[in-house]
Chain A
C-alpha cells in the first residue's frame, strides 16, 4: 500500500503537471479537490481516470462514480488496490 501511494503521487504529479508540488509535501490524506487541499478540478478527474486505465487497467465509465474515489490519494490507492487489473 505504501509503495502504491508513492507511485500514485508521482503519477498524478506528472499527469497533471503539478510542478511546484513536492512529493514530500504531497499529503495522501489531503483533499484533492476544492480550495482547501490540492485544488484540482473536473478536467483533472478526467486525467486521473485516464491514468488509472493506463497504469492499472481500471475503467471508469462515469466520472460521477469517481467522486468518492477521488477524495484523496489515499482513497484512490484503496480503490486501485481493490480493483486493479495490472
Chain B
C-alpha cells in the first residue's frame, strides 16, 4: 500500500514557502551566505539561514514578540501550518499524530540562557522545553494541534526521513488517520561548533560531489508533509503524489564516517526499491544526501553505483542551495522532490564544477538538459538521507501508488521477551571490561557504558549476537558529553572544542554504537519523546515483528542525569532524575502465533 501526501509546507534558506523554494531552485539561487541571525563568532563560516528573525516568526504565529521560544519550534510550527492549509483538511475528531525529526530541539534557547539559568529561578522553565520531545509538543500546540499525539525521532541528519517512514508505517497499520511528519532544526552554536570541531565545514560555498569539495555548509529550516492512507487521493489540481517505498538501515561502521562502499546507504536504497516494487530503471531522479564532505559524497557515490550500475539516473544534491539542514534535511528534500514531481523539474547540483573520479557525475548544469542528460517526465524519485552513526534511510516518492491491501491486518505476529537487563547504578559500570577493551572504553561516557552493558547482557541472555533491528529511547539523550561541550563553549569560547564530546552528543549515539558493536546493519531508530520514549520504541518493535520485518529487536531505554541537571530539578521542586538508568529488552516473535 502507498501513503498519499495530501499537503506540504517548507521553510528554508531559499524561501519561506513552497513556491518561493521552487522559484529559487529554478533560478539557481542559493540561500547560503554570511551569517545574519546566529550569534556566533565564526563569521567566516557561510550558512543557509532562514531569512526570518525569531520576532518575525513569533508575529507570523500570532505570539508575543518577546516570548522566548526556540527557533526550531517556530520554524516547525510555521511549516506545519502551511502543510495543513495546503492539505485543506478538517482534523476534528480524527486521530492526528505529529512526528518530527530533530536533534537540536530547544538547544538554541538553552545555550543562550544557560549561564543565567544557573542563578535565576525565573528562567528555569526554559529548561523544560530543552528536550526534543517537549519542543515537538510546543510546536504542535503552536500549529493549532493541541489534541494531536506527538512523537520525536532523533537519528541525527536522517531524522526527518525516519519521521516520514514512521508516519507511513503508522498509517499502514491503522494507528492514525492523519500524520503530519517531517523535521525542523535551527542553527545552534552547539552544532555549528561541533561540526567545526570535526573539521568538516567548508569556509566557502559547499560543492557536493565536486573534485575540490571541502566540507559542508550548515543550514536550517523545517518541512512537513501531511500523510493519509488514501492511495487514490488526487489533489484539486489533478495531481497525486505518494510515498511508495522506503528503507532504513545502518552502516554500522563509524560514529561520524561512512564506509567506503556505502553499505548502509546501499542497503537502504535497495530496501526502498524492493518495497516500492520498482527496478533501478524506474527511478528518474535521485535527490542525494550529498553533504559536500569528501567522505559522504564518495561513499554515497559508491552506494549509488552499486544499486544502479551503469545506468545512473539524474542525481543532484540540493544542499548547495539550502545548506545541510541536518535533522530537517530529509523533510526539506522530500518537499523538494514533491515539487520536482509536480513540475517535472530536476533541481541542479549547485556549486559543482569538476568531476571527481570517486564520485558520480551530478546533474549540475542546465546546459546538459539537451545533451548528456535526457529528462523524461518524472514518475518516481529516490530521496537519500543519512546521519551520524550510519543511520541511513531512503524514500521513494512517486506519482503512482502500489496496489493496496486491506488496512489494519498487518500485525500478524505476537511478541515475547527473550532477554532483559537493567543498569541503574554507576557501580555496575565496572562490568564493561567483560565486553570492551580499555582502548575502546576510553571515550565512552557513563551512559554509553551503561547502554553497552545492558544491551550486550540482554542479547547474551537471548542467545543472540546480532539482532535484526535496534531501537533506542531516551528523554534527554547524551547529557554528560553535551553538557561538557556546552560549558566549555560558553566559558572558553568557540575555539578548541572537543570533537570526541560532540560526536557523542546526538541522541542516536547509543543505537549506532551498539549497531557497530553487534554488526547490525538492520533497521535502526531512536525516539526522544520524554516519558513516552520507551512506549514509542516498543510500539515500533512490535510493528517490525508483527509485520514480519524483523524476528528479533533490541529495544533500549537509556537516560542519565548530571549533577547540574539534578540541581535544576531540585530547584524546580521536581523529582530528581537518577544518575544513570539503562534498560535493554530483546523482543522476539512468539512461536505459535
Contacts and interface: CB of A to CB of B under 8 A. Distances in A.
Interface of A: 16-20, 39, 42-43, 46-47, 49-50, 53-54, 62-63
A69 B173 CA distance: 57
B19 interface: no
A56 B403 CA distance: 65
Given A18-B442, A49-B199, A53-B496, 6 more contacts: A46-B198, A46-B199, A50-B197, A50-B499, A53-B495, A62-B199
A85 to B, nearest CB: 13
Given A19-B438, A62-B199, A42 B257 contact: yes
A47 B496 contact: no
Nearest to A47: B500
B498 interface: yes
Interface in B471-507: 495-500, 503
B309 interface: no
Contacts of B497: 50
A50 B193 CA distance: 13
Contact of B438 (A20, A42, A50, A62): A20
A43 B440 CA distance: 13
Contact of A47 (B438, B439, B498): B498
Most chain-B Cβ atoms within 10 A of its Cβ — which of A39, A46, A53, A62?
A46
A54 B495 CA distance: 9
B442 A16 contact: yes
Contacts of A62: 199
Nearest to B257: A42
B296 to A, nearest CB: 14
A43 B499 contact: yes
21 contacts: A16-B442, A17-B443, A18-B442, A19-B438, A20-B438, A20-B439, A42-B257, A43-B443, A43-B499, A43-B500, A43-B503, A46-B500, A47-B498, A47-B499, A47-B500, A49-B199, A50-B498, A50-B499, A53-B495, A53-B496, A63-B199
B355 interface: no
A51 to B, nearest CB: 8
B499 A46 contact: yes
The residue in A16, A43, A50 that gathers the most chain B C-beta atoms within 10 A of its C-beta is: A43
Contacts of B257: 42
Contacts of A54: 496
Interface residues of B, number: 17
A63 B199 CA distance: 8
B256 interface: yes
A13 B524 CA distance: 34
Nearest to B492: A54
A48 B249 CA distance: 33
Interface string B180-210: 0000000000000000011100000000000
A17 B442 contact: yes
A43 B256 CA distance: 9
Contacts of A42: 257
Nearest to B503: A43
B41 to A, nearest CB: 15
A54 to B, nearest CB: 5
Contact of A50 (B443, B496, B503): B496
Nearest to B444: A17
Q: Nearest 10 A-B pairs (CB), nearest first? A: A17-B442, A46-B499, A20-B438, A54-B496, A50-B496, A53-B496, A63-B199, A43-B499, A43-B500, A47-B500
A62 B496 CA distance: 14
B441 to A, nearest CB: 8
B292 to A, nearest CB: 15
Contacts of B198: 46
Interface in B423-459: 438-439, 442-443
Contacts of A39: 439
Contacts of B197: 46, 50
A59 B442 CA distance: 26
A74 B256 CA distance: 29
A59 B571 CA distance: 42
A34 to B, nearest CB: 13
B566 to A, nearest CB: 24
Which of B199, B256, B438, B498: most chain A CB closer than 10 A?
B199
A84 to B, nearest CB: 15
Given A43-B503, A47-B500, A19 B442 contact: yes
Contacts of A50: 197, 496-499
B196 to A, nearest CB: 11
Interface in B1-36: none
A63 B495 CA distance: 16
Contacts of B439: 20, 39
Contacts of B443: 17, 43
